[in-house]
Amino acid sequence: MRHKTQALILPAAAVFAVIFAIARACVQSITIDEAATYFHFVRTGLLFFPAANNHILNTLLMRLFTAVFGTSEFTVRLPALIGATLYITASYRICRLLSPSLILQLVLFVCLVYNPFIFDYLVAARGYALALGFLMWAIALPATWFLMPNDRSRSLLTTCAISSVCIGLSIAANFAFAFVDLVTLALIFFFALTTPKMNFGLVLVCCWLPLAIVTLSISGSTMLHMPKEQLYWGATSLAETFGGIMKRSFYRMPLGWANRPSFVQLMWFLLGAASLARFLFVLSRPDRNSPLIRFALALTVIIAATVAIHWTAFHLFHLPLPVGRTGIYLFPLAMLAVGALAGIAPSSRLDRYLRGSVIGVLLAVAVCFLLCLRLTYFEEWAWDADVKQAYSVLDCMARNNAVRKVSATWCYVYSLNFYLLQSKHSSLSRVVDHNTNPPEADAWVFNTFFEHDSGVLNDHGLTIVYQGRPLPGDVGNTVIAVKPELARALLTGPCFDH
């Protein structure tokens, strides 16, 4: 009975992750980037328009689901939830491959999936979840073939072909994954080629032809016509690349002392030091060519080669280095490499201590990730956390014939117009950006973080009638302001009867 209960723990963690992602997709307000994708590409039908914000596969699926089920936060995020399910199931599969130990499986799974930085992009209506999900399955399928020789339900050539399709779909989901996807497929090709009795021509075709077909049919034209000026988002140093990922993974720890940069740096240093010590030790063992060691080495090579290609492109072609979400794939690859190292059975007492230190630090990191989880906002777009509530206030004001024209700061325009479109029966007119249009309106929506908004508020003698809940970090508060004479009437009306 106890064994059966333990066997359910990891599946329960995976199922809860999917449920939590669905809950967030239903609860969270739409964000500026999600709404902009919908308005610019999905609603207009410009599905293959070459723009950095247009993640082709995600856009195509958004078009499908909103056409079939209508437009809502959930339907525009449904492609991301499919990507989240792919990522979660692939992570589950690999964790089961790397070790029979439930503790290591669970700790590694939590680190892979419940990292708050990763989880945000498993929900947001962008292409990152799909790209991550397909990349992880492209790794999980050949990993299963090489690590589980007694469980080879399909041939290696078929496995390579399916992984190639996954790589093509990952690129179509997000072009920022192109380098890491191609490096990953190159490693799969190399391992397949070095397998006994493999024909070079068949391996070449199975590894690269499906990728070529998928890429050319879905995203080839868009990639070829992508303007260089669209490739502006990124870092100028590798320290910024890795530092952003490490910082965002520990964003808004509930313990005050744990929010300090020194604590974040300490946690990553301990994990890196413990992993490096174990890595050097296992390389000195007679069984250094074991499948798990080779898997860890392969993942390390993928990370190093991808970073090297990005660094070279930055210095030769001024292509920005990955930063934040555009380098999101670096985290799961690093975690898988660490998990593979921890999954190698110890060969001595010292080796057992080294393995225990890796698992111990992974456990501490996993606990930190769980403490950082959030339900109602994305770290990247925290200012949009209560935009749905702000729209409901504006809509109530409109129903009482007090407000028709609304002007908003840039970070609310697309989101408010999304809810306006969704409502269909509102008497509000289209929300305009008061940074590019004259602020002649019945109501203004501001964010207290921006100095320009404070200036408009004071210049027009406006009175704040609604202020959203305090937002995390230095992102200000959402406020709605109107002329004083209208404020007096509104504050005694049904929209503010609280």
| Residues 329 and 132: beta-carbon distance below 8 Å | yes
pLDDT tens digits, 263-273:
888 888 999 99
Domain boundaries, the chain: 2-372, 382-496
First to last CA, the chain: 53
Residue in 195, 57, 174, 70 with CA at minimum distance from that of residue 121: 174
| Its pTM surpasses 0.85 | yes
What CA–CA distance (Å, rounded) separates 116 from 24?
12
pLDDT at 483: 83
pLDDT tens digits, 104-145:
999 999 999 999 999 999 999 999 999 999 999 999 999 999
Residues 6+ apart with CB under 8 A from 158: 206
Say if residue 346 is exposed, middle or buried (CB neighbours under 10 Å; 0-12, 13-18, 19+).
Answer: middle
What's the token pair of residue 49?
A: 């328009």
pLDDT tens digits, 295-323:
999 999 999 999 999 999 999 988 899 98
Q: Which of 111-125, 226-240, 413-427 has the highest mean pLDDT?
A: 111-125
What CA–CA distance (Å, rounded) separates 74 from 211?
30
pLDDT tens digits, 173-212:
999 999 999 999 999 999 999 888 888 999 999 999 999 9
